[in-house]
Structure formats: C-alpha cells, structure tokens
C-alpha cells in the first residue's frame, strides 16, 4: 500500500491482480482508495487521479457532509442502525443483567445499571450486535455454500477497520466485519457471496468477476450502497 498526493487529495494505492483500475471513496472519513493492476506505474496512477480530481473532490465533500455527526455516547435519543434501519436508542436503568432489545421499528432499548459507564454501554450494544449478526449468518452461509458449490471451514465476526470481510483461500476461513449488521440485509448477503467465492478464486481477477456477475448480477450497485450507507 502506498499513498500518492494529487493537489490536496491524498490517495492510498493498492496494486492487485486485476484488469482495470478502481477508484473508491469510503465513508465516513472520505478515504480515497485506488485498486490498480500490478503493471500500472505510479505515474500512470497519478495521471488517472488528476483526470478524476473534480469527481473526487465532489464525492469527498458529499461523503463528509452526509456523515457528519457527533461522537456516540450511548445515551437515550441517539440514532443507531440495525439491518439497514435507523433506530433511536433508549437507555433504561436496570438492576439485573444488561440486555438489549428492539421495541417496534423505532427503538433499540438498552437495559443497564444506573452507573454504567459510556464504555460499558458501548460494550453492551456491541455484544448485542454480535449476537444478532451470528444468528442470521448461518442460514446465509449455508444457502450460498450450496449454490456456489463451496464449503467454508469456519467463519467468525470481528471488528475490522477497512474491510467488510476477508477469506483465506488456503484455509477457507472467513471473517465478517461486525459493522455489517448495521447494513441492509441484501448488502450483508452480497458480502457473504463475495467472501465464499474466494474459496474458489483467490484473486479479484476476470474469473472471479465472471462468477460474481453470474450469481449476484447486481453486486456493483450493492457495493456502492454498502459503502455509501450512513451508520
């Protein structure tokens, strides 16, 4: 990974076994990422970025504007997302074990002790997200293993900074980003397919893209939706 500066834009560049160059602006901090073919020179990438500069600046401004929000403190009234839907958080003092539950389509209700710290409230919500995500993944993984003719060795849910998921082609172990549980279910399913396909094909090459197009033809739209959805 290398960073290239063009005007006032700093782009991270990753060389991959792909045919075409891909430019992505990632929320929430408008990170500029370039995936380039291994034979593409640094100077060619710089020229590519220069030609895309007006678009990059426009998208960076849009992403920063859309995703501007106060830091979460896990108090009543905050907005939090679950399976693509926005909920308001309701914190209720509770003397028994901490728990979280949905209240209709409007509230995520967190029951915690009166003196629970911000860190503790954040942990309670995070573990609820993890449990909910692990509850929906088995059926999706099983469904697409049958369709794709593959079998994962094992999968897990972890907090990841830059990836929605990862698959080790050799061990067939898959990791899903915990943040996915905040996204719409069709986006989650796309990532399940994306990672399972890496059991067949390690790289994002033409064979991989052809398989993705065959089994999930609207994946490009879902990828855009996934990366632009505000959480």
Under the banding of pLDDT at 50, 70 and 90, the label for residue 163 is confident
154 and 99 assigned to the same domain:
yes
| Structural domain of 201 | 79-228
Token pair of 74 as six digits: 């896990």
211 and 120 assigned to the same domain:
yes
Query: Please, what is the average pLDDT of the chain?
Result: 91
Last residue of one domain, picked from the residues 42, 66, 90: 66
Tell me, what CATH number does 169's domain have?
3.30.2010.10
To which residue do tokens 């100077």 refer?
43
50 and 122 assigned to the same domain:
no
54 and 126 assigned to the same domain:
no
Cis ω before 115 (30° cut-off from 0): no
Residue 115 within a domain:
yes
Sheet holding 165-168, edge to edge: 154-158, 173-177, 165-168
Last residue of one domain, picked from the residues 16, 38, 66: 66
Rounded to an integer, the average pLDDT of 31-51 is 92
pTM of structure = 0.75
Residue 71 within a domain:
no
192 and 155 assigned to the same domain:
yes
- 187-217 CB burial, b ≥16 within 10 A, e <16: bbbbbbbbbbbbbebeebeeebbeebeeebe
Q: d(Cα 136, Cα 142) in Å, to the nearest integer?
A: 11
Domain count, the chain: 2
- The per-residue pLDDT for range 73-98, each reduced to its tens digit, is 999 999 999 999 999 999 999 999 99
Last residue of one domain, picked from the residues 38, 66, 94: 66
Q: d(Cα 135, Cα 138) in Å, to the nearest integer?
A: 7
- The per-residue pLDDT for range 201-222, each reduced to its tens digit, is 998 888 999 999 999 999 988 9
Residue 74 within a domain:
no
What percent of the chain lies above the pLDDT cut of 70? 96
Q: Between 61 and 119, whose confidence is greater?
A: 119
To which residue do tokens 């106060």 refer?
70
Rounded to an integer, the average pLDDT of 169-183 is 95
137 and 209 assigned to the same domain:
yes
102 and 170 assigned to the same domain:
yes
- The per-residue pLDDT for range 126-151, each reduced to its tens digit, is 999 999 999 999 999 999 999 999 99
49 and 132 assigned to the same domain:
no
Under the banding of pLDDT at 50, 70 and 90, the label for residue 101 is very high
Q: d(Cα 19, Cα 161) in Å, to the nearest integer?
A: 26
């Amino acid at each position: 990974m290398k960073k290239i500066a063009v005007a006032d834009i700093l782009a991270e560049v990753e060389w991959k076994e792909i045919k075409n160059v891909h430019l992505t602006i990632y929320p929430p901090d408008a990170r500029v990422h370039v995936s380039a073919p291994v034979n593409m020179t640094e100077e060619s990438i710089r020229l590519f970025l220069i030609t895309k500069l007006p678009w990059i600046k426009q998208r960076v401004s849009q992403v920063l504007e859309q995703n501007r929000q106060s830091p979460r403190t896990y108090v009543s009234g905050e907005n939090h997302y679950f399976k693509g839907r926005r909920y308001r958080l309701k914190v209720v003092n509770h003397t028994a074990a901490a728990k979280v539950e949905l209240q209709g389509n409007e509230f995520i209700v967190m029951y915690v002790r009166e003196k629970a710290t911000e860190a503790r409230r954040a942990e309670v919500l995070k573990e609820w997200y993890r449990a909910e995500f692990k509850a929906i993944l088995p059926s999706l993984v099983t469904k697409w293993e049958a369709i794709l003719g593959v079998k994962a060795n094992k999968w897990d849910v972890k907090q990841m900074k830059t990836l929605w998921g990862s698959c080790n082609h050799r061990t067939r172990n898959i990791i899903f980003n915990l943040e996915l549980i905040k996204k719409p279910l069709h986006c989650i399913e796309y990532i399940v397919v994306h990672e399972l396909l890496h059991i067949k094909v390690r790289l994002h090459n033409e064979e991989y893209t052809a398989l993705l197009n065959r089994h999930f033809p609207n994946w490009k739209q879902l990828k855009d939706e996934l990366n632009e959805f505000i959480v």
